[in-house]
C-alpha cells in the first residue's frame, strides 16, 4: 500500500493545477488530510449546533465538569482534552506565552465567547489534560464550537473534522435531524469521506410520552441507518444518551441512573471503536483521502478535458493552415512552371529563328543591328523576364521568402558575318555581256547577293543559337532557385500550445496518481472479516461495559 508521504505528495502536487481562489476550501482540506495521515493521536470530535449539549456530553463521559457549559453560546475555540496525570489547563497565545492552570476556570477567559459572540484572536490553542481511561493511549477529545452560529466558527469546525478519526454528532430529541443537520452531515462529513460517525440522541428524557420517544427514536434510526458507516461490524451508529442526567448521576455516583442515562453504553462503544480502529487507523483515514481525491480528480479531469480540446482545436487550426498553405504552394508552383514553359517555348531555337532571323539579318545588313537588338529583341526578353519574375516575386512574398535572385539573360556579342567574295567575270563572260546586255554580270551580282544574305542569316542563326543555349541554362538555374523558394513554411507549434501540452502531460500524470490513490478503496474493503469482527466486537463491548459498571 502507498505510504502516507507518497499520498500526501500526490495530493499536494495535484493542488498546483487547482484555482486557489475558486477552490480555497478544497486546498485547505488537502492540507488537513495530509496532516492527519501522520497524526499519531486518535482524535474524537463532538459536533452539534449551539446548546445541543456537546460540552455536557464530554463532561459526562469524563465524569466531571471539564469544559465550560452554559445555556448561552459558550465554546469559542477548539478545546483539546488529552490524558494527563493530573488536571491541567494549557493556553498557548500568539505571543508565544504559555499559560498553565491546575483547574479549568481559566477556560472562561480564553475559550469562551464574549457577550458579542466573539472569540479571542490571541489564542493559538487550548488544551486540557485529565487522568481518565478514555484518554489513554493517545486518545484526544475535541470540544468544538457550536455550528450554524457564525461563518468563522463553522469554518473552524469544518476544518477540525478532518483532523479527527471519530465524530460524535449530537442530535436534539426535540428537533432531531433538522435540514441544517442533514446538510452538515452530507457536506461536512459524508462528502468528505468521514465515515466513522456515531450519532447521540440527547435529551430524550425531556420527552414525556414513551410513544413519542419511540417514534422519535425510530425516525432518527431510519436516517442514521441510511448513512454508510465505517464502524466495526456489530456496533450501532445511534445511541440514546441523556447527557445532563448522565453527568449528574456520575457526580452523585448513582449506579442505576448512570446506566439508564445511556452513558455507559456509549463509553463501552467508544472504547471498542478505539481499540479496533487504532489498529487500522491508516486505512480508515484513507476514506477521507479518497473522498478528497475524488473531488480533485473531477476538477483535474475537467481541466484536462478542456486543455485537450484547446490543443485539439489549435492542432486542427494549424493543420488547416498547413493544408491551405500546401494547396497554395502547389498552385503557385503549377503557375510558375506554366510561365517557365511559356518562356522556354519562346526560347526554343525554332521560335527564335522564325520570329527574329529575318529582321535581325536585315538590320545586320543595314548596319542597324544594335538598334534592332535594343528595340526589338531586348524588349521581348524583358517582357517575358518581367512576367516570370513578377510571378516568382509575388510567390516569394506570399511565403515571406527573401527575393535575392533575378533572371539575368546575357546577349551574345555582335554577330560575326563571313561575307562571300564577289566573283569577277572571266574573259568569255565579259565578251558575252557585250552581246547579251550584261546578263552574266547581273547573274554574278545576284549570286553574290544571295550568298551575302545567307551569310547574314547564318550569322544571326549563330547569334540566336548562342543566346538560346545561354538563356536555357540561365532559365533552368532560375527555375530551380525559385522552386526551392516556393515552399510553404510549416508554422511551428505556438509556445502556448507547447506549454498547454506540457501542462496536459503533467495533469494526466497527476490524474494517474490520484486514480492510484482512489484504487486503494478496494484494498480497504477486502481487509474486512465481518464474521470474526462481529465476535470480537461482541466480547470487547461487553468487557468494556462491565468494566465501566463495576469500576
In this predicted structure, the answer to whether residue 146 has a pLDDT above a threshold of 90 is no
Give the mean pLDDT of 211-231.
90
Quick: pLDDT tens for 331-362: 999 999 999 999 999 999 999 999 999 999 99
What percent of the chain lies above the pLDDT cut of 90? 49
Give the mean pLDDT of 157-162.
90
* pLDDT reported for residue 526: 46
Q: Which of 246-260, 313-327, 418-432 has the lowest mean pLDDT?
A: 418-432
In this predicted structure, the answer to whether residue 524 has a pLDDT above a threshold of 80 is no
When the pLDDT of each residue in the chain is averaged and rounded to a whole number, the result is 87
176-199 b/e with 16+ CB inside 10 Å = b?
bbeeebeebbeebbeebbbbbbbb
* pLDDT reported for residue 71: 44
479-490 b/e with 16+ CB inside 10 Å = b?
beebbebbebee
Residue 238 vs residues 58, 111, 212: alpha-carbon distances, Å: 17, 30, 17
Quick: pLDDT tens for 284-319: 788 889 989 999 999 999 999 999 999 999 999 999
Dihedral sign, CA of 501, 503, 507, 513? positive
Q: Which of 146-150, 247-251, 489-493, 531-535 has the lowest mean pLDDT?
A: 146-150
Give the three-state DSSP class for 540.
helix
pTM recorded for the entire structure: 0.73
Dihedral sign, CA of 168, 172, 177, 183? negative
In the chain, what's the furthest Cα-to-Cα distance? 179
- Closest by Cα among 13, 416, 30, 324 to 193: 30
Q: Which of 38-52, 149-163, 463-477 has the lowest mean pLDDT?
A: 149-163
Tell me which DSSP letter residue 425 carries: P
* pLDDT reported for residue 130: 94
Quick: pLDDT tens for 402-421: 876 688 889 999 999 888 87
138 contacts: CB under 8 Å, gap ≥ 6: 40, 41, 42, 83
* Region for residue 91 given its phi and psi (left: phi exceeds 0; alpha: psi -120 to 50; beta: otherwise): beta
Quick: pLDDT tens for 476-509: 999 998 888 888 989 999 999 999 999 999 999 9
In this predicted structure, the answer to whether residue 180 has a pLDDT above a threshold of 90 is no
Residue 2 pLDDT grade (very low, low, confident, very high; cuts 50, 70, 90)? low
Residue 446 pLDDT grade (very low, low, confident, very high; cuts 50, 70, 90)? confident
Q: 79 with 143: CB under 8 angstroms?
A: yes
- In angstroms, the CA 386 to CA 470 distance is 18
Residue linked to cell 478519526: 165
Residue 527 pLDDT grade (very low, low, confident, very high; cuts 50, 70, 90)? very low
For the record, the C-alpha cell of 256 comes out as 442505576
Give the mean pLDDT of 378-398.
89
Phi, psi for 164 (deg, rounded to 5): -120, 165
Cα pseudo-dihedral 526, 528, 531, 535, rounded to 10: 170
In this predicted structure, the answer to whether residue 438 has a pLDDT above a threshold of 80 is no
Give the mean pLDDT of 212-231.
90
Q: 363 with 372: CB under 8 angstroms?
A: yes
Quick: pLDDT tens for 99-129: 999 888 888 888 776 655 566 778 888 999 9
* pLDDT reported for residue 117: 57
In this predicted structure, the answer to whether residue 66 has a pLDDT above a threshold of 60 is yes
What strands lie across the sheet with 139-143, from one edge to the other? Answer: 98-101, 88-93, 123-130, 79-83, 139-143, 42-47, 166-172, 197-202, 238-240
Amino acid at each position: 500500500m502507498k505510504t502516507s508521504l507518497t499520498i500526501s505528495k500526490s495530493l499536494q502536487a495535484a493542488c498546483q493545477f487547482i484555482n486557489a481562489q475558486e477552490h480555497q476550501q478544497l486546498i485547505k482540506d488537502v492540507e488537513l488530510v495530509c496532516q492527519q495521515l501522520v497524526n499519531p493521536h486518535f482524535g474524537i470530535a463532538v459536533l452539534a449546533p449551539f446548546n445541543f449539549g456537546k460540552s455536557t456530553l464530554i463532561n459526562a463521559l469524563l465524569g466531571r465538569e471539564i469544559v465550560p457549559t452554559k445555556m448561552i453560546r459558550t465554546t469559542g475555540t477548539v478545546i483539546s482534552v488529552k490524558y494527563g496525570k493530573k488536571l491541567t489547563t494549557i493556553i498557548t497565545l500568539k505571543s508565544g506565552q504559555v499559560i498553565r492552570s491546575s483547574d479549568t476556570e481559566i477556560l472562561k477567559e480564553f475559550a469562551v465567547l464574549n457577550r458579542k459572540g466573539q472569540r479571542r484572536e490571541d489564542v493559538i490553542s487550548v488544551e486540557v489534560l485529565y487522568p481518565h481511561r478514555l484518554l489513554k493511549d493517545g486518545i484526544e477529545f475535541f470540544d468544538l464550537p457550536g455550528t450554524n452560529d457564525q461563518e468563522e466558527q463553522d469554518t473552524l469546525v469544518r476544518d477540525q473534522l478532518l483532523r479527527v478519526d471519530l465524530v460524535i454528532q449530537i442530535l436534539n430529541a426535540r428537533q432531531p435531524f433538522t435540514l441544517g443537520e442533514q446538510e452538515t452531515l452530507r457536506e461536512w462529513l459524508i462528502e468528505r469521506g468521514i465515515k466513522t460517525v456515531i450519532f447521540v440522541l440527547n435529551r430524550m428524557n425531556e420527552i414525556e410520552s414513551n410513544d413519542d420517544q419511540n417514534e422519535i427514536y425510530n425516525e432518527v434510526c431510519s436516517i442514521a441507518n441510511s448513512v454508510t458507516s465505517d464502524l466495526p461490524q456489530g456496533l450501532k451508529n445511534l445511541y440514546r444518551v441523556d447527557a445532563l442526567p448522565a453527568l449528574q448521576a456520575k457526580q452523585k455516583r448513582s449506579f442505576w441512573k448512570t446506566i439508564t442515562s445511556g452513558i455507559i453504553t456509549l463509553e463501552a462503544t467508544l472504547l471498542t471503536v478505539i481499540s479496533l480502529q487504532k489498529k487500522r487507523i491508516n486505512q480508515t483515514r484513507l476514506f477521507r483521502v479518497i473522498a478528497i481525491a475524488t473531488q480533485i480528480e473531477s476538477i483535474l479531469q475537467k481541466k484536462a478535458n478542456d486543455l485537450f480540446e484547446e490543443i485539439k482545436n489549435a492542432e486542427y487550426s494549424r493543420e488547416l493552415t498547413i493544408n491551405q498553405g500546401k494547396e497554395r504552394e502547389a498552385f503557385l508552383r503549377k503557375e510558375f512552371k506554366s510561365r517557365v514553359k511559356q518562356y522556354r517555348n519562346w526560347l526554343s531555337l525554332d521560335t527564335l529563328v522564325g520570329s527574329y532571323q529575318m529582321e535581325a539579318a536585315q538590320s545586320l545588313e543595314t548596319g542597324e543591328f544594335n538598334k534592332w537588338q535594343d528595340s526589338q529583341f531586348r524588349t521581348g526578353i524583358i517582357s517575358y523576364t518581367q512576367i516570370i519574375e513578377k510571378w516568382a516575386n509575388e510567390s516569394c512574398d506570399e511565403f515571406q521568402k527573401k527575393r535575392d535572385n533575378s533572371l539575368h539573360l546575357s546577349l551574345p556579342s555582335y554577330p560575326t558575318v563571313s561575307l562571300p567574295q564577289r566573283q569577277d567575270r572571266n574573259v568569255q563572260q565579259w565578251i558575252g555581256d557585250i552581246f547579251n546586255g550584261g546578263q552574266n554580270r547581273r547573274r554574278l551580282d545576284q549570286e553574290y547577293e544571295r550568298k551575302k544574305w545567307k551569310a547574314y542569316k547564318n550569322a544571326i542563326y549563330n547569334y540566336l543559337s548562342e543566346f538560346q543555349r545561354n538563356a536555357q541554362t540561365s532559365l533552368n538555374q532560375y527555375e530551380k532557385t525559385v522552386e526551392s523558394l516556393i515552399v510553404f513554411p510549416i508554422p511551428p507549434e505556438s509556445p502556448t500550445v507547447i506549454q498547454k501540452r506540457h501542462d496536459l502531460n503533467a495533469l494526466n500524470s497527476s490524474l494517474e496518481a490520484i486514480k492510484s490513490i482512489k484504487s486503494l478503496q478496494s484494498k480497504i474493503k477486502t481487509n474486512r472479516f465481518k464474521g470474526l469482527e462481529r465476535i470480537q466486537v461482541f466480547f470487547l463491548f461487553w468487557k468494556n461495559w462491565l468494566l465501566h459498571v463495576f469500576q
